[in-house]
Structure 1
């Protein structure tokens, strides 16, 4: 397909909603920095509720287009096709919805969109393994196998995991690491002033975690780790930062009862919070890549994380010895304390982390994405 030089490529990103999260933050950074004279990006979402990035998306000249009834395929199909007719034509439909992307790309094929990209973020299906879910997975992977023209993933491990459940042969398969805006983490901050601003202790080591408040992010382990340290008389303060999730209110109640922990919701810029902490703890039980580990590294934080293959890809090799099996509280505690109690080790890991983060610039990510878009529409 040859496009006129008189207009930009038109891309429809399909995502649940543009609240703060790994995928969504990567997408807004792409929109901020991509050449918008060459690429016009709109966002199809599954909600009419305002989301954190909506206003900025509109200010940057893109549209937020609600497509409702994702739990009723026949209504969703009608709405989706009508959106493509009303707002299109689109050169690319880029779906960020894991298995549901199968239906999205089937509908895009019916509306004659030539380039249909499935961006497979999770390592595994997060839904409970039940009979109907197995049928759903089978249907959606068949649709993806037939109607996706490109399969991309944010890590080698997540791509390999998806290839194990879906026949991706004959398609363009590519790894596209989530890039971050490194300049946010270059500035110096007054740690004491930042801690006072957020009502955090100025004289205690701070261990921080940034994630949605949802089950697989495993905030429960932070609570257990804090209990263990408190019983042993270890003076460490924990901070959990996020924007949304089904466990938000439950965690709020639990944290409110403690004096060794804080919970922050809706922080617009996490860079200064990261830069005022001493260590990043990542207890997640499922990640497609673990871009928060890259953000923590850019802030110069040592990272102690669950030893998942996807998170291992996101962490500097010097940090691998400090990873731990899922939910291994004893080893997680030991690794956290071994870093906090050794200033020279902490400095070395901090330097390694900053150097490692330079491999994941948003500009490298955008360059690869732009090349993909332009090549697949020629």
Structure 2
């Protein structure tokens, strides 16, 4: 089967991680897989090495005019990817878009499957239109959790196939002790979150929780990794920095971390905080469970569905601080064992097999 998987970026965002891992698992099952994406900022490759069994088409995306807004950049992203993909679209048996930009780019070429990782509400008109069209026009839909599939059914009357994410279990479960020690020597005791500083990640709530936590636990640092994004969160980041100064806290902002350095960073953390206000699955949090790191997540239906008794749940900054305190204070072997077992169950091989079955059924409609 000739399969095109499409994403919008080469950077380490959750949807891009998903796309590459799924592509590699499909190729390992003998499928002919090509990943298409935009190479922003001169990128000629992804944030990590990709199995050579997967074909890569990275479409150059030149810088736009100075101070280009999000809306014009979205429109230009769609147009650039569409112009590159249209001439060869017919050679693929399956065209599977992983986000609204790539879905809008390939919809004119014919049939399209769309993975809806999570649902957003946008105020930028161009982005809102991109989001809506990428939901209503594809021929078939995949969601990575039942909660998001139910949102899709309630809001648009669309029935989606539920295929959970896989997780690179061994990569996070079996990290190099020397690499873990290196992070400990650099950071000391720390609470980690991955995803950068942005509204969807609940960064301001985590900041408030950390300030409350320090009244009982003054030692652990708050460490923030990741943060590559297409969107402009400078105003939110400025509010976050101002609030940190008001609260008298100084989180350590690492920014994007090299791919090989991420597993030991996660494994060396004293706790992993995941206070997102919108998620489809929570891949970074599942990686933390694979590493055996205590996990505290936002009390959302989707995260209750995915993590069950393997995580601690918090609804407010105050309860987030309480649950982080509990995670730091007392070892919880039962929860840790449940977390490792849960993460080990989510394999990319199984996700790929389920995708292939869905592709075959979708192709018969």
TM-score range, shorter chain: 0.7 to 0.9
Q: How many angstroms apart in 2 are the aligned matches of 1:282 and 1:214?
A: 13
Q: How many angstroms apart in 1 are the aligned matches of 2:203 and 2:80?
A: 39
Partner of 2:10, secondary structure, is coil
- 2:323 maps to which residue? 335
Q: Could you say which structure has the larger radius of gyration?
A: 1
Q: How many angstroms apart in 2 are the aligned matches of 1:261 and 1:135?
A: 36
What root-mean-square deviation, in Å, do the aligned CA atoms of Structure 1 and Structure 2 show?
A: 3.5
User: CA, structure 1 residues 291+160, in 2 after alignment: closer, same or farther (shift >3 Å)?
Assistant: same
Aligned-residue offset at 1:199:
4.6
User: CA, structure 1 residues 167+273, in 2 after alignment: closer, same or farther (shift >3 Å)?
Assistant: same
- 2:97 maps to which residue? 95
249-258 vs 354-363, which moves further: 249-258
Alpha-carbon contact 2:211-2:249 (below 8 Å) kept: no
Residue 211 (structure 2) aligned to one of 222, 227, 239: 227
Aligned-residue offset at 1:25:
1.0
Q: How many angstroms apart in 1 are the aligned matches of 2:81 and 2:193?
A: 38
Q: How many angstroms apart in 2 are the aligned matches of 1:248 and 1:194?
A: 32
- 1:62 maps to which residue? 55
Q: How many angstroms apart in 2 are the aligned matches of 1:233 and 1:55?
A: 36
Partner of 1:316, secondary structure, is helix
User: CA, structure 1 residues 359+29, in 2 after alignment: closer, same or farther (shift >3 Å)?
Assistant: same
Q: How many angstroms apart in 1 are the aligned matches of 2:282 and 2:36?
A: 24
Q: How many angstroms apart in 2 are the aligned matches of 1:79 and 1:298?
A: 35
- 1:118 maps to which residue? 114
Alpha-carbon contact 1:28-1:53 (below 8 Å) kept: no
210-219 vs 228-237, which moves further: 228-237
Q: How many angstroms apart in 2 are the aligned matches of 1:24 and 1:137?
A: 17
Residue 211 (structure 1) aligned to one of 177, 195, 210: 195
Aligned-residue offset at 1:88:
4.7
User: What does the per-residue CA deviation read over 1:274-317, in whole Å, with 9 as the maximum and x for residues that have no partner?
Assistant: 11112111011111111112111111122111011122222132
1:159 aligns with 2:149: yes
Partner of 2:91, secondary structure, is coil
1:347 aligns with 2:324: no
Residue 27 (structure 1) aligned to one of 19, 22, 26: 19
User: CA, structure 1 residues 248+64, in 2 after alignment: closer, same or farther (shift >3 Å)?
Assistant: farther
Partner of 1:221, secondary structure, is helix
- 2:122 maps to which residue? 127
- 1:108 maps to which residue? 109
1:313 aligns with 2:305: yes
User: CA, structure 1 residues 298+137, in 2 after alignment: closer, same or farther (shift >3 Å)?
Assistant: closer
User: CA, structure 1 residues 136+369, in 2 after alignment: closer, same or farther (shift >3 Å)?
Assistant: closer
Alpha-carbon contact 1:241-1:267 (below 8 Å) kept: no
Partner of 1:222, secondary structure, is helix
Alpha-carbon contact 1:46-1:70 (below 8 Å) kept: no
TM-score (norm 2): 0.80
Q: How many residues align?
A: 345
Alpha-carbon contact 1:210-1:242 (below 8 Å) kept: yes
Name structure 2 gaps, 5 residues minimum.
62-71
User: CA, structure 1 residues 87+336, in 2 after alignment: closer, same or farther (shift >3 Å)?
Assistant: same
Q: How many angstroms apart in 2 are the aligned matches of 1:141 and 1:376?
A: 16
1:267 aligns with 2:258: yes
229-238 vs 257-266, which moves further: 257-266
Q: How many angstroms apart in 2 are the aligned matches of 1:120 and 1:276?
A: 32
- 2:68 maps to which residue? none
Matches within 5 A, 1:43-58: 43-49=35-41, 50=43, 53=46, 56-57=49-50
Aligned-residue offset at 1:237:
2.0
Aligned-residue offset at 1:54:
6.3
Partner of 1:56, secondary structure, is coil
Alpha-carbon contact 1:158-1:310 (below 8 Å) kept: yes
Alpha-carbon contact 1:316-1:356 (below 8 Å) kept: no
